[in-house]
Amino acid sequence: MTKKYVYLFSEGDSSMKNLLGGKGANLAEMTRLGFPVPQGFTVTTEACTKYYNEGGKLTPNIANEIHDALGQIEGVVGKKFGDKNNPLLVSVRSGSRASMPGMMDTILNLGINDDVVEGLVSLTGNPRFAYDSYRRFIQMFSDVVMELPKSNFERIIDDIKDEKGIKSDSELAAEDFKDMVSRFKQFYKEKMGEEFPQQPEKQLLESVNAVFRSWENPRAIVYRRMNDIPHDWGTAVNVQVMVFGNSGNESGTGVAFTRNPSTGEKELYGEFLMNAQGEDVVAGIRTPQKISQLKQVMPEAYEEFTKAAEKLENHYRDMQDMEFTIENKKLYMLQTRSGKRTAQAAIKIAVDLVAEGLIDKKQAVMNVDPKQLDALLHPTFDTAALKAAEVLATGLAASPGAASGKVYFTAESAVSAAEKGESVILVRLETSPEDIEGMHAAAGILTARGGMTSHAAVVARGMGRCCVAGCGSLQINEEEKYFTVKGEKFNEGDFISLDGSTGNLYKGKIETMQAQLTGDFATFMSWADGFRKLKIRANADVPNDAKAALNFGAEGIGLCRTEHMFFEEDRIPIVREMIISKTTAQREKALAKLLPIQRADFEGLFTAMNGLPVTIRLLDPPLHEFLPKSDADIKDLSIEMGIPFEELKATINDLHEFNPMLGHRGCRLAVTYPEIAAMQAQAIIEAAVNLAKNKIKVTPEIMIPLVGELKELKYVKDVVTKAADDVIKASGIEIEYLVGTMIEVPRAAITADEIAKEADFFSFGTNDLTQMTYGFSRDDATKFLDHYYEKKIFDFDPFARIDVEGVGKLVETAVQLGKKTKPNIKLGICGEHGGDPSSIKFCHDLGLHYVSCSPYRVPIARLAAAQAVITEKN
Amino acid sequence: MTKKYVYLFSEGDSSMKNLLGGKGANLAEMTRLGFPVPQGFTVTTEACTKYYNEGGKLTPNIANEIHDALGQIEGVVGKKFGDKNNPLLVSVRSGSRASMPGMMDTILNLGINDDVVEGLVSLTGNPRFAYDSYRRFIQMFSDVVMELPKSNFERIIDDIKDEKGIKSDSELAAEDFKDMVSRFKQFYKEKMGEEFPQQPEKQLLESVNAVFRSWENPRAIVYRRMNDIPHDWGTAVNVQVMVFGNSGNESGTGVAFTRNPSTGEKELYGEFLMNAQGEDVVAGIRTPQKISQLKQVMPEAYEEFTKAAEKLENHYRDMQDMEFTIENKKLYMLQTRSGKRTAQAAIKIAVDLVAEGLIDKKQAVMNVDPKQLDALLHPTFDTAALKAAEVLATGLAASPGAASGKVYFTAESAVSAAEKGESVILVRLETSPEDIEGMHAAAGILTARGGMTSHAAVVARGMGRCCVAGCGSLQINEEEKYFTVKGEKFNEGDFISLDGSTGNLYKGKIETMQAQLTGDFATFMSWADGFRKLKIRANADVPNDAKAALNFGAEGIGLCRTEHMFFEEDRIPIVREMIISKTTAQREKALAKLLPIQRADFEGLFTAMNGLPVTIRLLDPPLHEFLPKSDADIKDLSIEMGIPFEELKATINDLHEFNPMLGHRGCRLAVTYPEIAAMQAQAIIEAAVNLAKNKIKVTPEIMIPLVGELKELKYVKDVVTKAADDVIKASGIEIEYLVGTMIEVPRAAITADEIAKEADFFSFGTNDLTQMTYGFSRDDATKFLDHYYEKKIFDFDPFARIDVEGVGKLVETAVQLGKKTKPNIKLGICGEHGGDPSSIKFCHDLGLHYVSCSPYRVPIARLAAAQAVITEKN
């Protein structure tokens, strides 16, 4: 049997979404349930795939199927395509599996031509309606199918109105529309070099082709990448008998939601326009009325619609977004689908639907997109205030939330302004580890360079600071402390506002609203927690972040980056003293000064976490990150440290690396300078001992980074356990501790059976693992990755979502090999992927024990982990 | 049954080398064959392993076994350990599986003490001999076992000679030696805080411990790393009854080879000393006599020894290196082993042994170490001239060969001096791609920075230029054109000499001798070629290198790096014009100028290779490598190109990368600028067309670098095939060509089944694959890898020898996955490992089709590939 590429609405149902697209499947389902749906047919998503496989051509057999389906529809409605005396007109709409606003617009009134329009005049006695319909069709077909922009036609309409001296479209008479049609056709012929197509079947096939073509337009590609929709899904095309909301004053059209999509309140929410076609509601020429007013205007239709809405919501067990048309008092349902909603509404609707008995908790948990929660967890701009604000530029939405404040250009000035109680926006070309304190003090961070995984972006997300990164249209002069954008100059102290969820930079101050973790939110999250098996930890380096993480429901710290502690003002001079030491003795002297500070750091963290597990990573970055780069800064430091400039500069030059990512860092530092690792281990265990004296039991997890070889791990582990055991012995207090490793170097994954011999736990550092598996530097890849998206080589950013085929394969290998050696080895992930829902599902399916992410992503991870259980295959 | 750790010589044979070490196994074999061997026993290599497993202690049961063996030897020789009246003395020597000069020295005369020495006096009537033996033992035991340096004892000897007013040791009388013994013991007690050990069994056990300890001394560790000897092999200890070559004028000792180890000539070659112990031959106090003179001195012993030598060579079927002692006219054989020999001798001996019917060709091929061939392929210094030369410094032996010439500090001055016919040594802090022409013009290259895989080292090896890299004791002032070393200043034009095989830098000019690929060499290599299955290709970018490669027996080019072509003087301005282009049109204009130049490049290569396969890699390095870095150079270029300085500088800044190794390079360039790949493909195929017109059939293999994802390969391949097919169509000439990819990114290896769908061949780029699998940058790793060797984390340099467990696993995975998709996919390797014998064996075992290496390594690869077949398991 040959494959079927065209289905009548009466042949499908809602289970056939992959084949018919969302719109097509729901039209079929409504037909099946007896709703008043104008009939029609769907050309399947497989036809789209075939179209591309054939090099962008509709095969003759699909064209034949369309012809046949059209014939059947003609039979059903008793009208004929292109028949002047009883014409069938249709609409053509795209409809993929997932709702995709980036795609083709609708074409209405298809099937009309010079003959048919005359027939319509006779049949309806309404020449104004007939010619209005014709000119609309020409306009839409030209725009959507032939890519002749709408504005050309709007100009002709304006000409006619000018000639007539009228202002509003409603003043145009039938003759005017007739004139308009002929001018439109004239214009079309000039531009396209041929007459406007008069054969309805040609109009239809060209339109189907256009829908398929639109699947690959740039807007659609970008939208799919943003929303993780695979390119190979394809779109379906829906061809539906026209009903006319613009056929008189007893006709109309509207859209409505079964619940309020902003708040989630249970109320019919929407609007309608009498004597109008669908596009008029959107176009905003006339102001639509609230849906509740339809009750007065057309009570029977209203009554029928509210019943249909309720029935649909009950049937689909979710809030519905519906389109309808009333033609001469008769109601037609044109579409229904699950309605888009705000995060707040999503939570409320999910909780309410459970209370109403429509869905169970499992379904409720599945109904909320984890990514949406982000909006609930950060401050947002006041909606009204935002509308009035001027967008100066748009950068990358690097870390969500909204912030208003005064511009500062250095970490120091940001810190001192914040101490005075000012709200600060830190503006930098790009940030570096030296800016950490300034970033912490700021309400928001704005950079001109760097991508989604730049230093600014990663650190800001970790801190929950709003950040717009890589805002290339900014010209920043850091030395003279100003930036210009859109020809306007902003000095230190001027107000700007940032939206880290959209990437927008606004002029001036905009009011923000704090996040509310309300009752519904807590209820909903407790349901999610009931399902999930993965533990959720947070990446946190300081007690404040740890407390934020606990507040969001974290069950431990999966990654404490000790280097962040080293950058603080009171430590950096000692750290530098340690780095420029020429002998082990000198280095140990400096380390002895760091020891009590580090111990206090860990005491703070352990106290905040009150017995929950804390994984501490030993010093990771290359040492040159702690030293200045410019000659001026080196000179300052040489005076501060009392070292000759030339000597200091030589030391810094010696530390220079061609590829710092692949350089002297991670456990390689501990191999060269075991005394650093020993000091850190001593500080960790001493802190645990001190807490034990206060009856808080801590089991520190000491993590050795960048391991690629068993003997390397063994060497550093021996240093760590010796230092730790010495402390334990001296204290006389029993402290349990684990020593494990990051799996972030491909070789570690490949040889994980060996590595596991010396590791109590593996924590997958998927940031670096992704860098090394692809051979991409995060800092450099932004320059070329756009070409990869554009040329459809990559569907998504592998630093945001785990690359299952490559990086994921290595993770899977490491899990299998690690368990082979040590069946109960503790397994977690602490890369950026730990906060990404699809990556969390991957981690769950692999059987990891926990994921660790930024504190602000903890609720997202909790929900994603619950959904991973629910969608599990077994 | 418990394991046996001690074997009498009469219990073993030569097949037990792994257990008994080389020396022990051969002593046993000689015993078995009835040679006159002083009897004794061997403590096994497994005892050494056990010693380390027990934390550096000899277990009691091993000590017991030693005691028992000693008892059996006492029975055999009828003497008794520590028995004043009939004392047994022994020697103690280390002996591992492979000969290891880095290890413990010999201890002779063990078993002597204050009593025994008196007994010896009575027994021999020779007090001078007795006390001389005692003082020698104290000296050796103190030095070797207790680490009291020999020089302390030499000082005491000098004191005695001064007191007596005598010059030579031979003038010392018995009384003097007696005095010496007492002063030695006194000194020992002062330093060690205890009496010199008097119990023979304690002396023995301490000595055995010392041999085991010496396995881990730094010299031994370095030696093992240089020679690929695993740390876990351990060493055996040989305890042998002493015979005394110093017991009078009818005694003596000597060493001899069955053939000349320098030339390979068949002649007994060696020397001997009468009335001496072994150490005297080495110490050089008396000048030994040529072995042929023994015929006059002691004809019977000579006769017996020559017969023994012949018998041993025939038995072992290889040139033997023997030690013997004559005690009162009786000959004793103390050692035999395969003799070390020069490369030239190795070849001659192998060929001669086949002619003599002693071995077959297979054995001949196995008898030559491939690495040794290197010495044959490069110029060497005249041995006599070298002895007189002053070593100024020693750097890394980065590329073999010898060169003498005048110092130049810039590529330009090197080129112009070479054009005047001068022999040039290019001296640089470190080299960069801009130095290529200067490196090519130079006879040798000397750098102060960089490791074995630095730019200088890699390029020099590729070109066959001698190179000493990372010579840290040089202070180079490139601007003022001089360097200083050892307090001496060398200016431009001064003569120096480099030995790239030892890393030595010499003052002045030293005569060099050219490599001779003589008749024996050709014969030997033809035998190797008869066995091997791997094809051997060369990495070559220009016709001259290609010709050198052919001369060495290359069967194709496995890697032509097109970027090297871009750096030449006539191209670099056009390349820069291309890089700073703002539009595709501008870039295409520049590329159009490069096209005929590239085409001529490929015509040259194809012509040189005359139909053999040529793999051409598309442009690989990041574009910033083609642009200047310093402000001064940027200014010069801005004037040259007529571009404002600021604009050029901004472009260069934009191209800056944090981790260029992981940056915008390889196929990523072709994704961003497909026009570059298209130009290169066009040039390649046009060149092939032009050759076809001259009846030379070329099948170009176009290689796309740095691929990590199928769609990436597909995109670039489509660009390449379109350009290629356009040329073919236009020419009307049928050209076959292949398009394949490097496998050098871990993700490519993991997803090789996918990648293979679009690849005609895989070429493993194990340099980059090693970098990314370990997360090491070659340029930066030298800084910390020394710590890794020192701490025994790494046994060898993974950039020199393939890391089988990690990188090798990925190669294996890629081979399996690739073949699953495409069973006949062509497989090769083109990293530095392609010239390393153990890596070549790995490639052979995996079933690759070819390896590609530097032209000068081609003979090595041919031999290694043959040995891989012969040593194959099946």
**How do residues A94-115 score in pLDDT, each as one tens digit?**
999 987 765 667 899 999 999 9
CA pair distance B538, B462, nearest whole angstrom: 9
Instruction: Quote the pLDDT of residue A841.
Output: 96
CA pair distance B152, A457, nearest whole angstrom: 66
CA pair distance A119, A81, nearest whole angstrom: 12
Question: Which of B432, B453, B772 to mutate to probe the A interface, most A CBs <10 Å?
Answer: B772
Q: Which two tokens stand for residue A716?
A: 């550093």
Q: In chain B, which residues have their Cβ closer than 8 Å to the Cβ of A776?
A: 662
**How do residues A342-383 score in pLDDT, each as one tens digit?**
888 899 999 999 999 999 999 999 999 998 888 788 888 887
Q: In chain A, which residues have their Cβ closer than 8 Å to the Cβ of B676?
A: none
- DSSP character string of B127-193: HHHHHHHHHHHHHHIIIIIT---HHHHHHHHHHHHHHHT--SGGG--HHHHHHHHHHHHHHHHHHHS
Q: In chain A, which residues have their Cβ closer than 8 Å to the Cβ of B794?
A: 709, 711
- List, as ranges, residues 730-789 from A with C-beta within 8 Å of B: 744-747, 750-751, 754, 768, 771-777, 779-781, 783-784, 787-788
Confidence band of A509 (pLDDT split at 50, 70, 90): very high
CB contact under 8 A, A810 and B776: no
Question: Which of A449, A669, A710, A750 to mutate to probe the B interface, most B CBs <10 Å?
Answer: A750
Q: Side chain identity at A723, as an amino acid letter?
A: A
- Nearest-Cα distance to chain A for B775, in Å, is 5
CB contact under 8 A, A671 and B712: no
A318 contact B CB<8A = no
- Nearest-Cα distance to chain A for B712, in Å, is 6
Question: Which of A741, A772, A786, A802 to mutate to probe the B interface, most B CBs <10 Å?
Answer: A772
**Which residue among the candidates A455, A624, A833, A844 is catalytic per the annotation?**
A455
| 3-state class (DSSP) for residue B329 | coil
- Cβ partners under 8 Å of residue A64, min gap 6: none
Give the whole-number percent of chain A exceeding pLDDT 90.
71
- Nearest-Cα distance to chain A for B658, in Å, is 7
Low-confidence residues of chain B, pLDDT below 70? 1, 101-104, 281-285, 453, 516, 518, 873-874
Say how many C-beta atoms besides its own lie within 10 A of residue A329's C-beta: 12
Please determine, for residue A874, whether its predicted confidence score (pLDDT) is greater than 80.
Answer: no
> If you average pLDDT over every residue of chain A, what do you get?
92
Q: In chain A, which residues have their Cβ closer than 8 Å to the Cβ of B807?
A: 747
Task: Give me the phi and psi of A106, to 5 degrees please.
Answer: -75, 145
Please determine, for residue A873, whether its predicted confidence score (pLDDT) is greater than 70.
Answer: no
- Cβ partners under 8 Å of residue B366, min gap 6: B867, B870, B871
CB contact under 8 A, B805 and A754: yes
Please determine, for residue A706, whether its predicted confidence score (pLDDT) is greater than 80.
Answer: yes
**How do residues B830-851 score in pLDDT, each as one tens digit?**
988 999 999 999 999 999 999 9
Instruction: Quote the pLDDT of residue B588.
Output: 93
Instruction: Quote the pLDDT of residue B1.
Output: 56
Residue in this structure with the two tokens 């380096």, named with its chain if needed: A541
Maximum alpha-carbon separation in chain A: 104
**How do residues B533-569 score in pLDDT, each as one tens digit?**
999 999 999 998 999 899 999 999 999 999 888 888 7
- Cβ–Cβ under 8 Å, residues B809 and B768: no
B429 contact A CB<8A = no
- DSSP character string of A56-124: S---HHHHHHHHHHHHHHHHHHT-EET-TTSEE-EEEEEEESS--TTSPPPEEEET--HHHHHHHHHHH
CB contact under 8 A, B803 and A708: no
Question: Which of B232, B651, B668 to mutate to probe the A interface, most A CBs <10 Å?
Answer: B668
Task: Give me the phi and psi of A651, to 5 degrees please.
Answer: -60, -45
Instruction: Quote the pLDDT of residue A662.
Output: 95
CB contact under 8 A, B709 and A659: no
- Cβ partners under 8 Å of residue A154, min gap 6: none
CA pair distance A688, A704, nearest whole angstrom: 18
CB contact under 8 A, A775 and B803: no
Please determine, for residue A332, whether its predicted confidence score (pLDDT) is greater than 90.
Answer: yes
- Nearest-Cα distance to chain A for B741, in Å, is 15
- Nearest-Cα distance to chain B for A538, in Å, is 26
Pick from A657, A659, A750: CB nearest B810: A750
- Cβ partners under 8 Å of residue B839, min gap 6: B766, B801, B802, B829, B833
Q: In chain A, which residues have their Cβ closer than 8 Å to the Cβ of B453?
A: none
Pick from B662, B709, B784: CB nearest A659: B662
- Cβ–Cβ under 8 Å, residues B128 and B174: yes
Q: In the annotation, is A455 catalytic?
A: yes
Please determine, for residue A284, whether its predicted confidence score (pLDDT) is greater than 70.
Answer: no
A661 contact B CB<8A = yes
Q: Which two tokens stand for residue B186?
A: 């006194």
> Does an H or E element contain B297, and which?
helix B294-297
**Which residue among the candidates A830, A833, A844, A853 is catalytic per the annotation?**
A830
Tell me, what's the ipTM?
0.83
CB contact under 8 A, B754 and A792: no
Inter-chain contacts counted by CB atoms under 8 A, chains A and B: 168
- Cβ–Cβ under 8 Å, residues B150 and B268: no
The whole-number average pLDDT for the span A694-721 is 97
CB contact under 8 A, A780 and B706: no
Q: In chain B, which residues have their Cβ closer than 8 Å to the Cβ of A771?
A: 662
* Of A291, A297, A292, residue with least CA distance to A329: A297
Q: B84 to each of B76, B87, B111, how far by Cα in Å?
A: 18, 6, 10
- DSSP character string of A285-311: SSPPEEGGGHHHH-HHHHHHHHHHHHH
Question: Which of A432, A449, A747 to mutate to probe the B interface, most B CBs <10 Å?
Answer: A747
Residue in this structure with the two tokens 């960790």, named with its chain if needed: A684
Q: Which positions of B are annotated as active-site residues?
A: 455, 830
End-to-end CA distance of chain B: 33
- Nearest-Cα distance to chain B for A851, in Å, is 23
Nearest CA in chain B to A454: B658
CA pair distance B444, B404, nearest whole angstrom: 8
The whole-number average pLDDT for the span A31-40 is 96
- Nearest-Cα distance to chain B for A742, in Å, is 13
A807 contact B CB<8A = yes
Q: In chain B, which residues have their Cβ closer than 8 Å to the Cβ of A711?
A: 792-794
Instruction: Quote the pLDDT of residue B579.
Output: 93
B792 contact A CB<8A = yes
CB contact under 8 A, A711 and B793: yes
Of residues A597 and A516, more confidence is placed in A597
Q: In chain A, which residues have their Cβ closer than 8 Å to the Cβ of B672?
A: 784, 787
- Nearest-Cα distance to chain B for A380, in Å, is 34
Q: What is the 3-state composition of chain A as percent helix, strand, coil, each rounded to the nearest 5?
A: 50, 15, 30
Instruction: Quote the pLDDT of residue B285.
Output: 61
